[in-house]
Amino acid sequence: MITVKRDLAPRRRLPKTKKPLSLRRYEATVGFIFLLPWLLGFLLFKAIPILAALGFSFTNFNMLQPEQTQFVGLANYITFFKDTAAGASLFGSISYFILSVPLEMGVALALAAIFSSDRLKGKRIMRTLFFMPSIIPAIAIFIIISGLISPTSGWINRLIIIPLHLSRSLPLYNLFPIILSLWTIGPGFLIILGAMQAVPKELYEAARVDGAGPVNRFFSITLPMSSPAVFFALVINMISAFGGVALLDRGLSYSQSLSPMEGYISQQMFSFMRLGYASALAWVTFIVVMTITALLFRSARYWVHFPEERSDEEI
């Protein structure tokens, strides 16, 4: 009979070695570290003030008398529907969006189509010149253009209105926000230009073989392949149309025909010190912007071409 002796001595466990991080996890960690400053800034200067404004919108908070703050529920929102000046300001912002955004998108598309041509010379310098106005402060642009359209000393008044004996009551000042919007087409222009330059050249060569002309190639190939960038620029321009014209009324008296909703909110907050009502107006504007954004995303399925989604559907 054979007996097997068992070693009753405890076995030594080898020390556990740390597994090396995978490449994907390493990239995610590094990316989070780089995003951390932006996330902290977003929380401190965006998310917390937005949530605080939501809380203030249900109170009658007055910055001169904060100790008399009381909870008023939906009273500020009910006041908005009774305030004709607030309705006129919101209508002015929507009108500015309807007039300025199509103009911005049309000019940006035209410039991107021109700059995507291989025959154009000096594209780097011209591209920089078209982008430079978008980094100039809005208040500087306001002073420049208001000087041009001044009814007494402006160059437009001297070179056009007086020589042609036109009336000085032309609505040039009312068109000022629309003119100003063309100064900030640089980011959208570069985004669309990058998308157009990324279109495969093989598609254009195949279209030329089939006899397609430049116009047909633009609407059949360039525009559909660049539609995601166009959609992104459209959403960004829409948001800036409601919130990017705040400087137009700084230092100016409020007028229903000139001020957008942003100016009316600034007046209620800094002139009348009605922080509660101004917060309610800001949230009404936010709801309007989010509604329009949701409609744009809803319509994107009909005109925006996403190659990844199309390939997944075919599989």
Q: Which of 127-136's residues contact partners 24+ apart within 8 Å by CB, and which partners?
A: 127/190, 127/193, 130/185, 130/186, 130/189, 131/186, 131/187, 131/189, 131/190, 132/186, 133/183, 133/184, 133/186, 134/183, 134/184, 134/185, 134/186, 134/187, 135/186, 136/183
Say how many C-beta atoms besides its own lie within 10 A of residue 81's C-beta: 9
Mean pLDDT score of the chain, rounded to an integer? 80
Check if the beta carbon of residue 240 is closer than 8 Å to that of residue 108. no
Domain membership flag for residue 192: yes
Residues spanned by the domain of 254: 52-139+171-201+230-301
User: Residue 206: is its pLDDT beyond 50?
Assistant: yes
Report d(CA 171, CA 177) in Å as an integer: 12
Of residues 251 and 10, which shows the higher confidence score? 10
Domain membership flag for residue 267: yes
Torsion of the alpha carbons at 168, 170, 175 and 180, rounded to the nearest 10: -30
Distances, alpha carbon 6 to alpha carbons 2, 9, 50, in Å: 13, 9, 71
Report d(CA 204, CA 202) in Å as an integer: 5
Domain membership flag for residue 258: yes
User: Residue 258: is its pLDDT beyond 50?
Assistant: no
Give the predicted TM-score (pTM) of the model: 0.74
User: Residue 93: is its pLDDT beyond 60?
Assistant: yes
Domain membership flag for residue 217: no
User: Residue 253: is its pLDDT beyond 60?
Assistant: no
Domain membership flag for residue 6: no
Nearest to 49 by CA among 313, 279, 291, 296: 279
> Total structural domains in the chain?
1
Domain membership flag for residue 315: no
- CATH number for the domain spanning 295: value is 1.10.3720.10
Binned at pLDDT 50, 70 and 90, residue 241 comes out as confident
Distances, alpha carbon 242 to alpha carbons 121, 279, 289, in Å: 37, 15, 7
What pLDDT score does 80 carry?
94
Q: What is the pLDDT of residues 134-186, one digit of tens each?
A: 777 766 776 777 777 676 677 777 777 677 666 555 555 566 667 777 777 88
